Amino acid sequence: MRLSYYPGCSLHSTAAEYSASAEALFQALGVELRELDDWCCCGATSGHSLSSFLSHALPLHNLVLAEAVGDDLLVPCAACYNSLKSAQAFMAGGSQEAGELKRQVAQSLGREYRGQVRVRHVIDVLADPRVENLIKDRLKKSLAGMPLASYYGCLLTRPPKVTSFETNPEQPQLMDRLLRLAGAMPVTWSHKNECCGASLAIPQPQIVEGLVGKIIAAARRAGAAAIVTACPLCQTNLDSRQPAGGDYLPVFFITEIIGLALGLNATPWLRKHLIDPLPLLHQQGLLAAS
Amino acid sequence: MAEQQVVPSQQLAAPVARLSGQPVNRCYQCHKCTAGCPVAAIMDLKPHQVVRYVQLGLEEELSKSKTIWQCAACRTCISRCPNGIDIAAINDALKQRSLARGIPPALPEVAAFHQAFLASVKSKGRVHELGMMIAFKLKTGTYFQDVPLGLKMFQRRKLRLLPEGIKNRQRFRTLLQGEGEKGWQE
Q: Which chain B residue's Cα is nearest to A101?
A: B178
Q: How much is the pLDDT for B2?
A: 58
- Label residue A288 by pLDDT band (50, 70, 90): low
Reported as a single tens digit per residue, the pLDDT across B79-128 is 999 999 999 999 999 999 999 999 999 999 999 999 999 999 999 999 99
Work out the pLDDT band at B182, boundaries 50, 70, 90: low
What integer is the mean pLDDT of B33-43?
98
The answer to whether the Cβ–Cβ distance between A57 and B79 falls below 8 Å is no
pLDDT band at B186 (very low <50, low <70, confident <90, very high): low
Q: What is chain A's mean pLDDT, rounded? A: 96
Could you tell me which chain B residue has the CA closest to the CA of A160? B79
Which residue has better confidence, A114 or B6?
A: A114
Question: Is A104 in Cβ contact with B38 (below 8 Å)?
Answer: no
Residue boundaries of the structural domains of chain B = 10-100, 108-178
- Write out the H or E segment, with its range, that includes residue A178: helix A174-181
Q: Which of B153, B179, B181 sits opposite A51 (nearest CB)?
A: B179
Closest CA to A265 of A232, A235, A288, A239: A288
- Render A46-97 in DSSP notation, one character per residue: HHHHH-HHHHHHHHHHHHHHHHHH-S-EEE--HHHHHHHHHHHHHHHTT-HH
**Quick one: what percent of chain A has pLDDT higher than 70?**
99
Residue among B142, B60, B147 at smallest CA distance from B106:
B60
CB of A58 closer than 8 Å to CB of B173: no
DSSP 8-state secondary structure symbol assigned to residue B86: -
Q: Which residue has the higher pLDDT, B71 or A290?
A: B71
User: What is A83-121 written as a DSSP string?
Assistant: HHHHHHHHHHTT-HHHHHHHHHHHHHHSS---S-PPEEE
To the nearest whole Å, the CA of A194 is away from the closest chain B CA by: 7
Q: What is the pLDDT of residues A54-91, one digit of tens each?
A: 999 999 999 999 999 999 999 999 999 999 999 999 99
Residue of B20, B75, B147 to mutate when probing chain A, most A C-beta within 10 A: B75
Q: Mark residue A8 as left, alpha or beta (left: phi above 0; alpha: psi -120 to 50; beta: remaining).
A: left
Distance CA A192, CA A154 (A): 9
Instruction: Note the pLDDT tens digit of each residue in B129-164.
Output: 999 999 999 999 999 999 999 999 999 999 999 999
Judged by a CB distance cut-off of 8 A, whether residue B97 touches chain A is no
Q: What local confidence, expressed as pLDDT, does residue A247 receive? A: 85
Q: For position A249, what pLDDT does the model report?
A: 97
ipTM: 0.95
B96 Cα to chain A: minimum distance (Å): 6
Mean pLDDT of B48-60: 97
Smallest CA–CA distance, residue B1 to chain A, in Å, is 38
For residue A233, what pLDDT is reported? 97
Decide: B85 and B24 in contact? Cβ < 8 Å.
yes
Contact (CB<8Å) B112/A203: yes
Q: Does B127 lie at the interface with A, CB-CB under 8 angstroms? A: yes
Would you give the distance in Å from CA A246 to the centre of its chain?
28
The beta-carbon neighbor of B158 closest among A14, A54, A160 is A14
How many Cβ atoms from other residues are within 10 Å of residue A12's Cβ? 16
pLDDT band of residue A285 (cuts 50, 70, 90) is confident
Run of H or E residues at B117: helix B108-124
Q: What residues of chain B lie within 8 A of the CB of A38, using their CB? A: 166-168
Q: How far is CA B40 from CA A4, A157, A288, B74, B161, in A?
A: 39, 20, 46, 12, 37
Of A51, A107, A205, the CB nearest to B118: A51
Best residue in A17, A36, A41, A101 for a mutation probing chain B (most B CBs within 10 Å): A41
- For the stretch A149-180, pLDDT in tens is 999 999 999 999 999 899 999 999 999 999 99
CB-CB under 8 Å, B174 with A203: no
A200 closest CB neighbour out of B72, B112, B157: B72
- Across chain B, mean pLDDT equals 94
CB-closest option in A43, A159, A204 to B86:
A159
Q: Which domains does chain A have, with CATH numbers?
A: 2-121 (1.20.1050.140), 141-283 (3.40.50.11810)
- Count chain A–chain B contacts defined by CB atoms under 8 A: 177
**Contacts with A47 from chain B: Cβ below 8 Å:** 118, 121
Distance from the Cα of A136 to chain B's closest Cα (Å) equals 32
Give residue-wise pLDDT tens across range A13-70.
999 999 999 999 999 999 999 999 999 999 999 999 999 999 999 999 999 999 999 9
